[in-house]
Chains A and B, each alone.
Chain A
Amino acid sequence: MSDELYRDMILELYRNPLNKGVLPDYDAKYQDFSTSCGDDVTVYMKWGSDGRIEFISHDGIGCAISQAAVSLVTDAVKGKTKEEILAMKDTDAITLLGIPISHTRHACATLGLFTLQKAVQSVKDSAEI
């Protein structure tokens, strides 16, 4: 039953997402779109001198599931290194949500994480050039 998805925590994060906004000073910025629904998310990341995430934010439009997921994922990666972020799996995002995610909502639940990983990868790629 899909109603289980919309627990108070999810709705609270939808109305009041964590880490939402534009980071004026960032090391990585990446925008991506969900091919299934057209939702978009832009992530901003700044690393500290120890190579761990110091500041992070996200901006864009999404459903309750994607907004809750990107809130939780951006919180969870604080203090992580690039490699640690790249090692995260889709199941990590779903575990953070703590609700059953159907095949059709998988893209909503993972958009934030995958966008973060693309941001990290883009920084790594440009550093290697």
Chain B
Amino acid sequence: MNTLTQTNIKKDFPVFLKHPDLVYLDTGASALTPQPVVDAITRYYTDFPVNIHRGMYDLSQQATEHYDAARRTVAQFLNASFEETIFTSGTTHGLNLAAHLLENTVQKGDVIVLTRMEHHANLIPWQRLAKKRGAVLRFIELKDYAVDMDSARGVIDERTKIVAVTMMSNVLGTKVPVREIAALARHVGAVVVVDAAQGVVHEPVDVQALDCDILALSGHKLYGPCGIGVLYAKKALLEAAEPFFTGGDMIRHVTYEDASWADLPNKFEAGTQHISGAIGLAAAIDYIRGIGWDFIQTHEAELTKYAIDQLRELVTLVGTCDTHTQGGVVSFLIDGTHPHDVGDILAGQGIAVRVGHHCAMPLMRYLNITGTVRASFGVYSTKEDVDALIRGIRHVKEVLHV
């Protein structure tokens, strides 16, 4: 299968109608939105744009049915149950909720294990929890930009209560062997939390097969809308914990003095939810199913390999440079330049990349760099996009005299 010149997929993405020359290499920040997702959101706002639950009228019932159907689609996508699938505003919300769910599992002197390449969203909630409970953070080291499993075996020990890891680094593209790490965590009875924000776009996620307790993802990285995400958590954890937000729609019975909570998943969905977002996310999942994982994974590996091969001569690559361990994210540096200047000059040529620390400041320090330029790919990305990037980099070098 030659997936590299698959330009017909671009037709599914309306942004390319408005901006036909756009070279979009920032899917790692937000994937573009395909027409079926736009249509699903529009249909909510045109056909049944009302609040869910307890509206006895037909439109409210339609909205509720679509919202529930969206949750079923997401649950099936993750191989989770309906009640274990909580809608959030995104991965950041999900991981903060995860830290809340696990607060009582950590005591003074306990250990929380992360990798060195976590996004701030999967670092700061655990920093705060550790400070609050007197626990200690430990980090699985990297070796040549990949996870060092010897280090993982060293830091995950009997005192470890939580192991929270990304599926795929948003900076390096490094894929994390979550299943192997989860097995180490299981061995010592630790809870496994997965930040799937990047990973879920690149491979099918099955929470049962991964053997994780909690997993968070964002809709906008999965070709869905902004402001919607999902937290999967095992029923026992969700039942044991107090709600994070309280208010409307999450209660069973309320008096002036007290309140009891609704059943799952509503217990964790206080207030009016992002109904159109949930419906749009389900449409995005249907879209991904239509494209198929075979295509997505082959295309990503081929394009990443092509990009690495082309870039190698021109720039300093920051990653494993092996598509077995590196997904569709390629970070690089141009000697004698700052990523901000590179990104700005590329932007002037219509090339969209992301520059800076990518919400992973400690990783930058760990790698002894200030930031990177990052190109990241989606289903619509083509060889021509990479070729444009290569031309763009040559131009950057001319402008900056390096």
Contact = CB atoms under 8 A, between A and B. Distances in A.
Interface string B338-374: 1111001101100000011100010010000011000
Interface string A34-76: 0011110000000000000000000001111110000000000
B399 A3 contact: yes
A62 B341 CA distance: 10
Contacts of A6: 341, 345, 399-400
Nearest to A6: B399
Nearest to A5: B344
Contacts of B19: none
Contacts of B356: 36-38
B401 A65 contact: no
Nearest to B398: A3
A108 B340 contact: yes
Contacts of A38: 356-357, 361, 364, 370-371
Nearest to B345: A2
A2 B338 contact: no
A105 interface: yes
Given A1-B348, A2-B348, A3-B399, A37 B341 contact: no
Contacts, number: 49
Interface string B369-382: 01100000000000
A64 B341 contact: yes
A11 interface: yes
B348 A37 contact: no
The interface residues of chain A, by DSSP majority, are classed as helix
Nearest to A37: B356
B338 A64 contact: yes
A6 B342 CA distance: 11
Contacts of A1: 348
A37 B345 contact: no
A64 B371 contact: no
A66 B370 CA distance: 14
A1 B395 CA distance: 13
Contacts of B341: 5-6, 63-65
B352 to A, nearest CB: 12
Which of B341, B345, B355 has the largest number of chain A CB atoms within 10 A? B341
A61 B368 CA distance: 12
Contact of A11 (B347, B348, B355, B401): B401
Nearest to A2: B348
Contacts of A39: 340, 370
Given A2-B348, A3-B345, A62-B338, A37 B357 contact: yes
Contacts of B339: 37, 63
5 contacts: A2-B344, A6-B341, A6-B345, A38-B356, A38-B371
Interface of B: 337-341, 344-345, 347-348, 355-357, 361, 364, 370-371, 399-401
Given A2-B348, A5-B341, A63-B338, 15 more contacts: A1-B348, A2-B344, A2-B347, A6-B345, A11-B400, A37-B339, A37-B340, A37-B371, A38-B357, A38-B364, A38-B371, A61-B338, A63-B340, A64-B338, A64-B341
Interface of A: 1-3, 5-6, 11, 36-39, 61-66, 104-105, 108
- Give the top 9 A-B pairs by smallest Cβ distance, nearest first: A2-B348, A63-B340, A63-B338, A38-B357, A37-B356, A2-B344, A64-B341, A63-B341, A6-B399
